Structure 1
Amino acid sequence: MDYHNKLVLAPMVRVGTLPFRLLAAEYGADITYGEEIIDHRLVKCERRLNEILGTIDFVVKGTKEVVFRTCCAEKNRVVFQMGTADAIRALSAAQIVCKDVAALDINMGCPKSFSLSGGMGAALLSKPELIHDVLLILTTLRRNLDTTITCKIRLLDSSQETVELARRIEKTGVSALAVHGRKVKDRPRDPAKWNEIADIVASLSIPVIANGDAFEYEDFERMKDATGASSVMIARGALWNASIFSAKGKLPWDAVKKEYVRKCILWDNDIKSTKYTVKEMIIHHSCLELAEGKAVNKSDTYKDLA
C-alpha cells in the first residue's frame, strides 16, 4: 500500500461500512478505512463467501450477524481498523481478515466510551505504562503477518510527548502513522492543531496521514502544505458530502445521499447503520424535525427509507 499523496476516508463508527466506502472511492478516495471493529467480536467470526451479493462476509459463528463485509472491488484500498488492548488476541483477530484487506490499522486514538472502557483506543495512550502494550501489539502483528500494518493516534498533552511516541511507533516497523490533530479532551469544534502534526512529520521517515479540519477539496493541499504530511484523511467532511473527494467539485448533497441509500440497498447494509448515517447527513444540512428527518426516523424498511 502506497501512502504518499493519497486522499483517505477516515474510520467512522457505524458509517464506514461497505456502501459508504464504495461511495467515497467512486468520488475519488484512494484509501478507505472501515469502521473500528473490536478484536473480541472478530475472533468470534468466520469468513463466508456471499454468492448472492458477491461479497466476503465475516459473520459471528452460528448466526447471520455480519461484523464486516467487503468485496473484491475494494481489496487494494480498504483498511481494516481494529480496536484491541491485547497483542495475542489482536493477532488471532487479524489472521481472520488480513488476506481480504489491503492493510490493518490499530486504533489508538478513539475517544468514544465503548473503546475507552475496554482499555482500547485513546486509553492506550492515556497512561505511560500502557505504551509498552501499544508497541507490543504493533510488533507482534508486524512479525507474524505478511500484511501492511499501520496505526492511528491522537495528540498527547504536549507536542514533545507525541513526537516521542511517534518515534517509538515507527521503530515497530509500521508502514504509516495517521494522526488526528486533536487531544482526547478536545471536542470536534476545537480547531485541529496542524502545527503539532507538522512536528511529528518532521521527526519521522515513514508517511504521516494528517487528519482534522478538512472540509473542502482545497483543504487537502492546504493541510499537506501546512503539515508536510504525505496524505490527508477526512471524516466529517466526507460524512456530510462524500463527493468532497472529487477534484471536479462537490455534487449536491441530496444526490449524494440518494446514491448512498441506493448502494446500501444494493449491498444489503444493516438498515440501522444506514439510518444513522443518513440522519447524520441531514443534521448537518437540515433538521431531523422537518418532514424528511421525521420520515427517516419512522422508516422500518428500505422501502420506507427509499
Structure 2
Amino acid sequence: MEYRNKLVLAPMVRVGTLPLRLLAADYGADITYGEEIIDHKMLKCERQVNDFLGTIDLVEKGTGSVVFRTCAEERSRVVFQMGTSDAVRALSAAQMVCKDVAAVDINMGCPKSFSISGGMGAALLSKPELIHDILTTLRRNLDTPVTCKIRLLKCPQDTVELARRIEKTGISALAVHGRKVPDRPRDPAKWNEIADVVAALSIPVIANGDVFEYDDFQRIKDATGASSVMVARGALWNVSMFSPKGKIPWENVKREYVRKSILWDNDLKSTKHTLKEMIMHHSCLELPEGKAVIRSENLEHLAQLYGEENYFQQVTKNRGVFGGG
C-alpha cells in the first residue's frame, strides 16, 4: 500500500467500524484505520465468511459477537490496528486477519488506562526493545505491510530517536500524533515536533492532530512536511470533511451513517455510541434526538428516528430476514 499523499481516517475506539470507514472512503478518505482491537480478544475469535452480508467477520467464540468486520470493497485501504504488548501474541493475532486487510498497525499512542495498564498503547513508548521485537517479528513473518502510530515523547530529540529506531525495523510508514501522553485533546497539537520526525526519516510519516477542515490537510502538510495526514475528531464530527467539495450538512451525514449501519448490520452499541459522539459535538444528548438514540433498542428504531424506515424495510426484505440488529 502506498502511504504518500493520502488522507487517512484515524483509528477510533468503538467508532471506526465498517460503516464509518466506508462512509469516510465515499467522501474521499484514501486509507481507513479500524478501531484498536486487543490481541487477547483476537485470539478468542475465529474468521468467518459471512455470505449473508458479503463480509469477513472475526467472531468471538462462545459469545458470537463480531469483533472485526470487513468487506472486499475496502480490502485495498483498510488498516487493522492492534493493541499488544507481546511479539508472539501480536503475530498470532495479525495472521488471523492479514489476508483480509491492506496493512497491520500497532498502537503505540493510546494514553487510556486500559491500554497503559496492559503494557500496550503509549506504555510501549518507553520500551524501545519491545517495540523492536514486536515490529521485526511482524515484518519477518507477514507479507502485509506493517505500520505503527506513536505520540510525542517528553522532548523532541527523544521522539526523533525512537522514530529512527522504529524506521530500522522496516515498517512501511509511521503515524505521529502531535501530542504527548499527558496532553488533552484541547491542548494544541505540536506540528513543529512532527516536522522534526519527518526531517529525520525517509519512510512516509502520517501527521495527526488538529485537522478539522479540508484546508487543514494542506496546512499540516506544509507545516510538517509529512507525506500524509490522519484525522480523528474532525472526521467523527462530520466525516464529509474528507471531500474537496466541502462538508455536507451534518444531518445528511448522520442519515448516511445510519444507512451504512443498516446495510452492514453494524453492532447496535457501536452505532449508538458513534451517533452520540456526532450529536455531542453539535448539540446535546439531553435534547429529544439524543434521548431517542439512547432509548433505541435496535437498528429499526434508529432507522425510524432518522427517516430511513423505507431503506430499513428494503434492506431487510432483500435479505429475506426481518429484524434490526
- Give TM-score scaled by structure 2 length: 0.92
Residue equivalent to 2:28: 28
- Using the TM superposition, give the Cα deviation of residue 158 of structure 1 relative to its aligned residue in structure 2, in angstroms: 0.3
1:65 and 1:283 mapped to 2: Cα distance? 27
Deviation (angstroms), 1:211: 0.1
Distance 1:241 1:114 in 2: 28
| Match status 1:172 vs 2:169 | yes
| Structure 1 residue 61, shift from structure 2 partner | 2.2
SS at match of 2:136: helix
**Unaligned segments of structure 2, at least 5 residues:** 304-325
1:43 CA displacement? 1.1
Cα displacement (A) at 1:62: 3.6
| Letter matched to residue 59 of structure 1 | V
Shift of 1:301: 1.4
Alignment of 1:50-61 (within 5 A): 50-61=50-61
Cα drift, residue 235 of structure 1: 0.2
Measured in 1, the distance between the counterparts of 2:290 and 2:120 equals 34
Q: How far, CA to CA, are the matches of 1:45 and 1:124 in structure 2?
A: 25
Offset at residue 65 of structure 1 (A): 1.0
- What's the secondary structure of 1:201's corresponding residue? helix
* Correspondence 1:106 to 2:106: yes
Q: Which consecutive segments of 4 or more residues in structure 1 shift more than 2 A? A: none
Q: CA deviation at 1:63?
A: 3.5
Q: In the aligned structure 1, how far is the partner of 2:215 from the partner of 2:113?
A: 33
Give the secondary-structure state (helix, strand or coil) at the position aligned to 1:277.
helix
Encode CA deviations 1:108-151: one digit per residue, 9 max, x unaligned. 000112111111000111x3xx2210111000000111110000
- Name the residue aligned to 1:283: 280
Structure-2 residue corresponding to 1:219: 216
Counterpart mapping for 1:151-300 below 5 A: 151-300=148-297
Cα distance in 1, alignment partners of residues 226 and 199 from structure 2: 9
Q: Which secondary structure state, in structure 2, belongs to the residue aligned with residue 122 of structure 1?
A: helix
Q: Distance in 1 between matches of 2:59 and 2:271?
A: 19
Residue 128 of structure 2 aligns to a residue in which SS? helix
For residues 68 and 294 of structure 1, the distance between their equivalents in structure 2, rounded to whole angstroms, comes to 28
Query: What displacement does 1:8 show?
Result: 0.1
Measure, in 1, the Cα distance between the counterparts of 2:124 and 2:52. Answer: 40
Measure how far apart 1:288 and its partner are. 0.7
Cα distance in 1 for residues equivalent to 2:142 and 2:272: 36
Query: Between the two proteins, what is the percent identity of the paired residues?
Result: 78
1-structure distance, mates of 2:211, 2:264: 29
Bigger shift: residues 54-63 or 85-94 = 54-63
Show the counterpart of 2:115: 115
State the match for 2:140 in structure 1. Answer: 143
After superposition, give the CA deviation of every residue in 1:149-176 in whole Å (9 maximum; x if it has no partner): 0000000000000000000000000000
Tell me the matched-pair count: 303
Superposition deviation, residue 16 in structure 1: 0.3
How far 1:73 moved relative to its partner? 0.2
**What is the rounded CA distance, in whole Å, between the counterparts of 2:45 and 2:99 in structure 1?**
15
**Could you list the per-position Cα deviations for residues 271-293 of structure 1 after superposition, in whole angstroms to 9, with x for gaps in the alignment?**
11010000010000111111111
Give the whole-Å Cα distance in 2 for the aligned partners of 1:63 and 1:96: 18
The Cα shift of 1:191 comes to: 0.2
* Aligned-pair Cα RMSD in Å: 0.7
Structure 1 CA distance for aligned equivalents of residues 16 and 113 of structure 2 = 18
CA distance in 1, matches of 2:294, 2:46: 33
Match of 1:272, SS state, is helix
1:40 counterpart letter in structure 2:
H
Q: Secondary structure at the match of 1:8?
A: strand
Q: Which runs of 5+ in 1 are unaligned?
A: none
Counterpart of 2:73? 73
Partners of 1:99 and 1:161 in 2: how far apart? 35
Deviates most, 275-284 or 293-302: 293-302
1:31-42 correspondence to structure 2 within 5 Å = 31-42=31-42
In the alignment, the residues of structure 2 paired with residue 61 and residue 298 of structure 1 have an alpha-carbon distance, to the nearest angstrom, of: 29
> Which residues of 2 match residues 1-16 of structure 1 at below 5 A?
1-16=1-16
Q: Secondary structure of 1:284's partner?
A: helix
Q: Describe the SS at the equivalent of 2:104.
A: strand
Q: Distance in 2 between matches of 1:66 and 1:288?
A: 27
**Structure 1 residue 303: Cα displacement:** 1.9
